[in-house]
Amino acid sequence: MNVLIIYAHPNPMSFTKAILDNFVKGVREAGHRYEIIDLYKTKFNPVFQDMDFSFFVDEELPKDLLQQMNLRKLIIELAGNPLKRFIARRLIKNKSDEDIIKLIKSQHPKDVLSQQKKVAEADVLVFITQVFWMHFPALVKGWMERVLTYGFAYKLNEAGWKGDPDGRIPLLKIKKAVIMQPTFFNEKVYREKGFKASMEKTIDDWSLKYPGIESVDHLYFHSIIAVTAETRKKYLELAYLKGKEL
C-alpha cells in the first residue's frame, strides 16, 4: 500500500514526533511504501489565498451561480494594481464564458496541485499531530481547506448548491485514514464531556468520510503529560503496531 503521512509539530523532540517515528517503523517493516509531509519543514502555507477560489470555478456549476460570481469582474479585481487590471481587461475582452472558466482553472496554486497529486496516489492517509481546541492545529486544518478542494475531494449536485448537505458527491478513492493525536486531558474527560464525539463528527465524518474515505481510525494518546513512563511506552508500541498492521 501507499501510505501518505501528514505530520505537524514544531518540536523535533516531542512525543508526537516519537509517535511518528514508531508508526513509520511499523509501516516500513510491513513493506508498505510511505511518504511523510512535514508541514513545518516544508513551510506549507495554510492560509486560503485569492487563487484558491479558482477551484470553485467549474463548467458543471449551475449557470445562475456562475452569473452571480461575475467571473470577468473577478479576474480584473484579482489582477492587482491598475496596470495589471488593464492587462486583464485586454486579455479577457474577446473570450467566451468557457474560455474564462478555462483561464481561471489554469491558475490553480501549484503548491496545492502538488499536494493533491500525493493524496490521489495514496491508499491510506495518516494524520499525526496534537489536539488544538478539540481539532487539528491551524497548519493541518489549513492544509485540509486548501488541498481537499471542490473538484478534487468532492463536488455538489443541484441540491448541494442549495445548501443540502446530502448533495455532496464524494470523489476521494482512499480506503482508510488514520489519525493519531496526543491529548492533554484524560480519556474520561474526552468521553464524558463529549470531546471525543464532537471531534470525530467534525474530523472523521464531515472532513474525511464525507469526501469519500471509506473508514477512519482515530487514536488518542490521552493525558500525555500526566501519564507514567510505562504508559507512554505502551502508546509508542501501539503506534508501531498500527503502522505494521495497516
Contacts for 78 with CB less than 8 Å, ≥ 6 apart: 50, 51
The amino acid at residue 92 is I
The CATH 3.40.50.360 portion of the chain extends over 2-49+110-244
Residue 65, pLDDT score: 80
Burial 85-109 (b: 16+ CB within 10 A, else e): eeebeeebeeeeeeebbebbeebbb
Cell digits of residue 234: 505502551
Rg (CA), the chain: 21
Is it the case that residue 78 has pLDDT exceeding 80? no
Residue 227, pLDDT score: 94
Q: What is the pLDDT of residues 32-68, one digit of tens each?
A: 999 999 999 999 999 998 889 889 888 878 888 878 8
* CATH architecture of the domain formed by 2-49+110-244: 3-Layer(aba) Sandwich (3.40)
Separation CA 56–CA 59 (nearest Å): 10
Burial 112-146 (b: 16+ CB within 10 A, else e): beebbeebeebebbbbbbbbeebebbebbbbbbeb
Given pLDDT bands bounded at 50, 70 and 90, which one contains residue 156?
Answer: very high
Residue 173, pLDDT score: 94
Q: Which of 46-55, 74-83, 124-133, 233-242 has the lowest mean pLDDT?
A: 74-83
Q: What is the pLDDT of residues 17-38, one digit of tens each?
A: 999 999 999 999 999 999 999 9
Residue among 141, 118, 152, 126 at smallest CA distance from 48: 141
